[in-house]
Amino acid sequence: MLVPVRCFTCGNVIADRYEEFQAALKKSTNPSDTLDSLGIKRYCCRRMLLTTVETIQQIIPFQEAVHKRNLEVKAELE
Ligand SMILES: [Zn+2]
């Protein structure tokens, strides 16, 4: 899933802090301290960053394969 732009519950913009959170998470071992340092206090916003799994890089190869196969089928039909 793509990173949500806003918190689903309160509507706070969180997408601008996602990359910063991921980078800080690699340095720090405690996600709670990382979220505090980013100024994310509400637990609804914190769960948004903690539970997001970025799957777009895993999906892209399948989408490219489907597109390539569609082109092959169209070429065979013509
Ligand atoms: Zn929120």
Angstrom CA distances, 62 to 1, 53, 58, stand at: 15, 18, 8
- The model's pTM is 0.68
Please tell me the distance between residue 40's alpha carbon and the centre of ligand 1 in angstroms. 9
Report the pLDDT value the prediction gives residue 30, as an integer from 0 to 100. Answer: 87
Q: Which residues are CB-neighbours of 13 under 8 A, at least 6 positions away? A: 5, 6
Please say if the pLDDT value at position 1 is more than 80.
no
Please tell me the distance between residue 74's alpha carbon and the centre of ligand 1 in angstroms. 47
Sign of the dihedral through C-alpha 33, 36, 40, 42 = positive
Please tell me the distance between residue 2's alpha carbon and the centre of ligand 1 in angstroms. 17
- Domain limits, the chain: 15-77
Please tell me the distance between residue 32's alpha carbon and the centre of ligand 1 in angstroms. 15
What is the fold of 15-77?
Arc Repressor Mutant, subunit A (1.10.10)
